[in-house]
Copies of this chain bind each other. A is one copy, B any other.
Amino acid sequence: MVLEVAILAVKSGLESDFVNAFHKASPIIAGMPGYLGHEIQRSIENPSRFILLVRWNRIEDHTVGFRQSAGYLEWKSLLHHFYNPFPQVEHYEAIAEG
């Protein structure tokens, strides 16, 4: 199991539009092979910042399967114009859970 982490900096004033667009986009990622679940959360300290956590079976389910899918084109067109700067995505593996 791999955790994709992206800190999303949304352009000021577009936060509500982003939340609405994210709700529309969610089924795209949720339908991908190897998708195990996701959360999107909003920063309390900086309400223009969000964190997206996506759990994948294998890293390639995200980096290859999702990014080379037709659904990714729709995901991009729904979401990518909200970000400034464009987010860095990192993948993590569990070492301990509580």
Chain A interface (Cβ within 8 Å of chain B)? 2-3, 5, 19, 22-23, 26, 29-30, 37-46, 49-51, 53, 59, 90-98
Number of copies: 2
Q: What chain B residues lie within 8 Å of A29 (beta carbons)?
A: 98
Chain B min CB distance to A36 (Å): 9
Q: What chain B residues lie within 8 Å of A37 (beta carbons)?
A: 97-98
Instruction: Tell me the complex Cα distance, A97–B29, Å.
Output: 12
Instruction: Tell me the complex Cα distance, A77–B84, Å.
Output: 37
Q: What chain B residues lie within 8 Å of A39 (beta carbons)?
A: 3, 94, 96-98
Chain B min CB distance to A93 (Å): 6
Contact between chains at B95 and A44 (CB < 8 Å):
no
Given A2-B44, A44-B2, A59-B44, A38 and B97 contact (CB-CB distance below 8 Å): yes
Chain B min CB distance to A86 (Å): 16
Q: What chain B residues lie within 8 Å of A42 (beta carbons)?
A: 92-93, 95
* A96 in complex: contacting residue of B3, B26, B95, CB < 8 Å: B26
